[in-house]
Structures are given as C-alpha cells and as structure tokens.
Amino acid sequence: MFILHTPPQDEKRYTDCKVTVNGISASLPLCRVSAMPYNTAWPGYQRPIDQTEEAAFLSFESDEAVTLTVTYKKAPDKVLVRPLSKGVNVSADGNTTTLTLHTPGAYTVEADGSHHALHVFFNPVKDFKKYTEDAKNILHYPAGVHRVGRVELDSDTTVILDSGAYVYGSFLAVCAQNVTICGYGIIDGSKEKRETVNDLFPLDYYNTIPPDREAILSLIEKNHALDGIVRFYDCKNVRLEGVIMRDSATFACVAARSEDVRIENVKAVGMWRYNSDGIDLFNCSRALIKNCFLRNFDDCIVLKGICGWDDRNMEDILVEGCVTWCDWGRNLEIGAETNAREFKNIVFRDCDCIHGSSILLDIHHHNRAEISSVTFEDIRAEYTRHQLPDTYQHDMNAPFPDFETTKHPLLMAIPIYAMGLFSKDGKHGCVHDVSFKNIQILTDSPIVPVPESAFIGLDKEHTVSRVKVEDVTFNGKALHGDEMRIHRNKFTHDIEIS
C-alpha cells in the first residue's frame, strides 16, 4: 500500500524542484528554514528573513519500497541522501536524480550541500483510530485547513489529524491524563507572534508551580507564555505521534513535570525563528522519544530542569531511533537548565545526527542537579565539508561573516558552568557515570578532520567523573586515546578512553 500526502489547494508549494514518488507527481509543501548559524539573544523582534531560505518536505505512507525522482532546475554536481548510515544510493541523469527508499524513516535529499534540502518523511501505514477506543472526547481534523488558535485538552481526549490536515494553532493539556495527539497531519505555529512581553514558557524562579490546572493557566497568562505547537504541563500518560510540527515561535513540543510520556514518529521542520527547539522535556519521568525527525534553529532534543517544576527529577528517559539536524545549538542534550535534585537513568540510543552546529552529544550543566547514569550509544555523527561556523550576532546590522576557515561542532561535551543562569539559588552540581559507546563519525569528504570533544569540571567539588568512551570510529577506522581529541581540565577524573 502506498499513500501520498497532498497539501490543501491554498497551501504554498515549493517549486524549485519537481518530485515523483513511485511515478506519481508530488506536490511539495513549503517550509522556511535557517540558512546560516547566526543567532543572538532575543532582540525584541523576530529573526531577519534574509538569514533564512525556503525548502520543501514530502510525506507519505507505504508498506513497501518507494522510488523517488527529483528533478532540479540545474544539474547538481553531487546529491547525498542522509542519514549516510542508511546507505541510500542515488543515480543521476542530467538534472534528474533517482533513489529508492526501502524502510520507513526520515531522510534528506541534499544537492551540492545542505541548502534548499528536500525533507522526506516515509511513514508506516497506520490506522490511528485505535487510539479513540478509550477516549471520552475525540477531536477530528480531516484534510483541509483549520485555524484553531489554542486548543485546551481535557483528560481522556484523543486528537486525530488526518493526512492533508493543516491545523494552524497549538494544543495544550494541563493536569490531564490519557491524552493522545496523533495522525499524519500538520500542526503549524506560524500565526503565533512573539513579542518582548512573552516568556518562552511559564516560569517561577522563586516558588514551586502547584500541580493545579487553574494555577498553571493563570501563570501562563501572567507570563504571556508562548504556546508553541504542543504543551503537556503536569500530565500523565500522554502521547504525541505521527504529526509534522512546522514553524513554531518557540520550543515546539514541551512536556513539563509529566510522566509516562510517549513521543513517536514526530517531525519538526520549518523551525527558523529564535529559540525554536524541537522536543523539550522539563523534569519528567518515564518518557520515550522514538523515531522522530527534528530540524531546529536551536537544540533538537533537550532534557531540562526548570525552576518551578524542579521539585521533580528527570529520570528514566529513552531517546531512540531519532534523526536530528541542528541549525544552532545541540542535537542531543541534557541542559543547559539543570534544576532538580537528580537527572538519572537517561539513554540516547541508535540516533543519527546528520547536521550540527555547536555540539552533537552534550551534557550542558548550569545548575544544582546530580547528573548520573547517562548513556549515549550507537550514535552516527555526520560531519560535512560545507559546515558553516556558528556565530553570535552582536550587531543586528552586520551580515553573516565570510569565513575562510571552517569550525566543526564538538562531538561530545560535558561542561559544568558557573554563569548564574536559569536559577537564583547559585548552586552547582556534578556529573558522573556517563558512557559514550559505539559512536560512528561519518564525513562526506576526506578533508573533514576528527572532531574535538571536551569534558570540563567546575571546581574540586563540582566535577566530571567516571566517564567511559569506547568504540569510536572515524569513517570506519577505530580511534584510540589522543586520536579522539578530547580536552579535559583538572576537575575531571576517572575518564576512561579506549
């Protein structure tokens, strides 16, 4: 079975290339993405459009292999399909490229570098109606355009977005349980405008946020907190599956002080605005993030400890089978906010980091938590000769610099900072018992060097310790010892590199 997802008639299309899937002409939805890693603290107005570019995405379902042909206006010199680990071969005939995809997943087709990429979402065939069996409330969005604003969800609610449904707005569940948002439709946040008055999320530096619906809703209004795409605040047993999240004004998906969270086969694309993270968990437990695609202008998958919710640990988290493209910041991250007693039992496994900016695998420790039992394993980290250095924009009138040298992202990092950010208590924590195992570094050119890494403790009481790095390869060649280019300071100990 093969089902091609088609956008509504009035939706804008991407026209700089033409695509067929199994011989059927595809209509390509448009998304806006970052064109350069150029960022700044919120300047009071949204990011300039000239730092962005148009790109396309394509979504379909199939239970068999599919063949794509991509016809460009001009014949490219080289076309790559990422993740490189999928080993997708391409054949070129003039300005037409042909490729076959054998398994569901997220892919990018990139001609002569990463600009104006085609994002391909190959979904398994699935009937989402099964999630309505125990639901008391059902919201159904069929194919077409829906302008909904903020939709507040009660317990025992299932939301289904059919393929071809374009829902302009956001979904919010507060102190709810048994909530599901699913389907192959699109949730678009482009109508939300961020202004200086807005906070990114409800935050209280001085008090614990009570697990009370009305209190949280009141804090949202008081802080003028942005809606993003999906919010689960103080929820239990929640699911987000299948949907495409496009163009958020802030963090796209947040689950805060929630438990039994499942986020699966979710795609984030068109994230070009300041602080447009992908999936953020705040002080959650028993959460699974699986088989997702995140392309974001800020961190992709982030586990944070946020003041107000920091009476709960971050624990028992699995991130598995995800593909990340980070246009600014970190791909797979703990932090930078780390307000909690503990972060523990956290695993990032079987993921592809296809593009990065600052750091690919990161424990970014600013606050008081004890962080332990963290594993990064079976990770493919891709590096490109087309890499642009991430750059902070101090002068809002200055164009992105024309660099003569390339700065590649760090591969692994565990820094403990004393910068006084994200909390008022001034306390700091430590990191111990971390494993990096079977990390494959893949490059698209022999001129790309082995990337650097850094483990940096703060002082003799706030250290990075008992870290094990093993089975790291560079284009198939095993790396050992100093070949890994790992920098350490005197506040690290028991670092085992094999």
CB 409 within 8 A of CB 382: no
Q: How far lies 67's CA from each of 5, 29, 70, 100, in Å?
A: 15, 19, 10, 4
CB 169 within 8 A of CB 234: no
How far is Cα 181 from Cα 163, in angstroms, rounded to an integer?
13
How far is Cα 224 from Cα 201, in angstroms, rounded to an integer?
8
Question: Could you read off the pLDDT of 90-127 as tens digits, one per residue?
Answer: 999 999 999 999 999 999 999 999 999 999 999 999 99
Question: Could you read off the pLDDT of 19-53 as tens digits, one per residue?
Answer: 999 999 999 999 999 999 999 999 999 999 999 99
DSSP state, residue 422:
S
Tokens of 14: 């991407």
Helix (H) or strand (E) holding 487: strand 486-488
pLDDT at 215: 95
Burial-class residue 98 by CB neighbours within 10 Å (0-12, 13-18, 19+): middle
pTM of the model: 0.97
Q: Which amino acid is at 428?
A: H
Residues of the chain with pLDDT under 70: none
pLDDT at 317: 98
Q: Which amino acid is at 444?
A: D
Tokens of 35: 């064109």
Bridge partners of residue 453, in order along the sequence? 486
Bridge partners of residue 441, in order along the sequence? 381, 474
- 221-227 contacts at long range (C-beta below 8 A, 24 or more positions apart): 223/198, 223/199, 224/195, 224/197, 224/198, 224/199, 225/198, 225/199, 225/200, 225/201, 226/192, 226/194, 226/198, 226/199, 226/200, 226/201, 226/250, 227/150, 227/169, 227/170, 227/172, 227/189, 227/192
pLDDT at 85: 96
Of the candidates 133, 169, 166, 130, which has an alpha carbon nearest to the alpha carbon of residue 153? 169
pLDDT at 234: 98
pLDDT at 405: 80
CB 274 within 8 A of CB 297: yes
